[in-house]
Structure 1
Amino acid sequence: MDNLKIEVTIDDTPVSQQTLDQVQALRIKHVLHEMKALGAPVNLSDSAIDYLPYPEAKQRLLDLKAQYSLPQFKQLYAEPLATADHFWHQVAEQSDGRDHLQEGQVKLHVEGISMPQLQAVLGSELGSDFAARINPEHFYSDGSLTAGQHIIETFGCFGEPTEMNLYVEQGDFKPVVPDPTYPIQMNGYVALSSDNDDLGQGWRAYHQIRPTATGFDAILAAYLPSATPTEIINGHKWHLAVEFSEMIKFAVAQN
């Protein structure tokens, strides 16, 4: 990874990979505490979890998640998943559908791997093991970027994990006017898996990519219904920054 450069900008402020590691460490320990409280075999005291070094905590969480099939995980998290569904239904009821969406945006400048190289590695890597590796608050992932994905994750470092389906946008709606210097767009919307409620199609992902001579630039963004708490908007910026940084590092390590 000697030639790899990942520059992350959140709210016009550069964010180092060291800072993102610190964010990961905090969220890893949050999930370990959460899973322990729900009855998962963490086999550590709360204090022992808090004193884990970052690499060990990360591996312990990966090993713990690997013990659970989707039905087992949904049984463990039955109450939190139901709470999250109720929360998002309330947000949708108080929102304006696709109008007045709130944006959480992250900018990336990457050198040392091209977008085609990244896509080649990630084309078959959308399973749960990979998802858990790139973000501690990913619990399940199946599907593809083109056909849609079935996902369980804690959105925006806030509240409980949510089970959702991410669908590719088939119409012409875009949540923002695209930047004409970014020729590649990825546009989709989320529906809750429990009842396929699309929340007025107001929960969206819209990413813009620009290849460069040495890598690529990206504008990564989530758009949330108007009544979504601001904490989720801000928290998901950090979620995206961690997820894409770890995804890129994984891809480079495979080349």
Structure 2
Amino acid sequence: MTDLKIDITIDNTPVTQAELAKVQEWRIKHVLQEMKHLGADISKSAIEINLLSYPEAKQLLLDTKDKYAALEDMKALYKEPLAASDKFWKAVAKKSNGNQDLQEGQVFMHVEGITMPQLQQQLAGELDSHIAAVVNPEHFYSVGDTVNGQHIIETFCNFGEPTEMNLYPETGDFVPTTPDSTYPIKMNGYVALSSDDDALGYGWRAYHQIRPTANGFDGILAAYLPSGTPEEIINGHKYHLAVEFSEMIKAAVMHP
């Protein structure tokens, strides 16, 4: 097996793992500052948080989230932000066109050094809150898997506040785009708000396409959002996807 290689392209521009690490560092410290502001058990001051190295800040965030691993504890800490996000997405859905005219945010990925069975094992396994937090600093809670569905809390695309959601695999015929026939593996799902299982007109979707190669795989990772979604969210989620899948692949290689 070749050494691990992860090439990311966003908007026709290569994005290095070092650049994605910097995105993570910014978001890690943002989340730490917000959690502290909301009353989380963090002994360090706001200034001390800003002076942490990237590895130190990441470990502090993981340790802090582990203290609020129970769903009710995390929901109690983020009560007001979660309510604001729920209201925000319902307003977006109201001014959108259901699952039509969806806005697309794509990430192209080329990976060498990991087999498809390794990747599929990682994707199909239980995605608990700790693993979710390891692969993206904007993940706060997770139970379930990509095959049967998930109950999650995450900040959607580095914008706004965390949202509590249910992620369901698509069981019907709807696809948000014309599939690429050269990518045989498809992952198609939609999201509903957990407050009342509101699927927002079925316009809040993920559709990933994967193609095995001799040494790894190629991926088209994509989110499709309602027509009324702010452009900042479309662009931000590209980096959210790039971080999440890059870190998931690294974890799969380290712990096959």
| TM-score, L = length of structure 2 | 0.98
Encode CA deviations 1:190-209: one digit per residue, 9 max, x unaligned. Answer: 00000010000000000000
Gaps of 5+ in 2: none
What is the CA distance between 1:116 and its match in structure 2? 1.2
Amino acid at match of 1:252: V
What is the CA distance between 1:47 and its match in structure 2? 1.4
Equivalent residue number for residue 244 of structure 2: 243
Could you tell which deviates more after superposition, 119-128 or 88-97?
Answer: 119-128
What is the CA distance between 1:2 and its match in structure 2? 7.1
Equivalent residue number for residue 47 of structure 2: 47
Encode CA deviations 1:117-176: one digit per residue, 9 max, x unaligned. Answer: 122244334111100000000001111211111110000101110000011111111100
2:100 match: secondary structure: coil
Q: Map of 1:133-212 to 2, 5 A cutoff?
A: 133-212=134-213
Could you tell which deviates more after superposition, 44-53 or 215-224?
Answer: 44-53
Equivalent residue number for residue 35 of structure 1: 35
CA distance in 1, matches of 2:124, 2:98: 32
CA distance in 2, matches of 1:124, 1:174: 24
8 A contact 1:102–1:226 mirrored in 2: yes
What is the CA distance between 1:48 and its match in structure 2? 1.1
Encode CA deviations 1:44-80: one digit per residue, 9 max, x unaligned. Answer: 2211111110000000000000001111110011110
Q: Map of 1:108-119 to 2, 5 A cutoff?
A: 108-119=109-120
CA distance in 2, matches of 1:188, 1:156: 17
Gaps of 5+ in 1: none
Could you tell which deviates more after superposition, 120-129 or 161-170?
Answer: 120-129
Equivalent residue number for residue 73 of structure 1: 74
8 A contact 2:126–2:144 mirrored in 1: no
% identity of equivalent residues? 67
Encode CA deviations 1:19-64: one digit per residue, 9 max, x unaligned. Answer: 0000000000000000000000111221111111000000000000
2:67 match: secondary structure: coil
CA distance in 1, matches of 2:41, 2:139: 18
1:166 match: secondary structure: strand
Amino acid at match of 2:191: V
8 A contact 2:154–2:163 mirrored in 1: yes
CA distance in 2, matches of 1:2, 1:96: 46
Equivalent residue number for residue 22 of structure 2: 22
1:118 match: secondary structure: helix
CA distance in 2, matches of 1:105, 1:83: 27
| TM-score, L = length of structure 1 | 0.98
1:130 match: secondary structure: helix
8 A contact 2:33–2:46 mirrored in 1: yes
CA distance in 2, matches of 1:229, 1:52: 32
1:149 match: secondary structure: strand
Could you tell which deviates more after superposition, 71-80 or 112-121?
Answer: 112-121
Equivalent residue number for residue 230 of structure 2: 229
What is the CA distance between 1:5 and its match in structure 2? 0.2
8 A contact 2:126–2:143 mirrored in 1: no
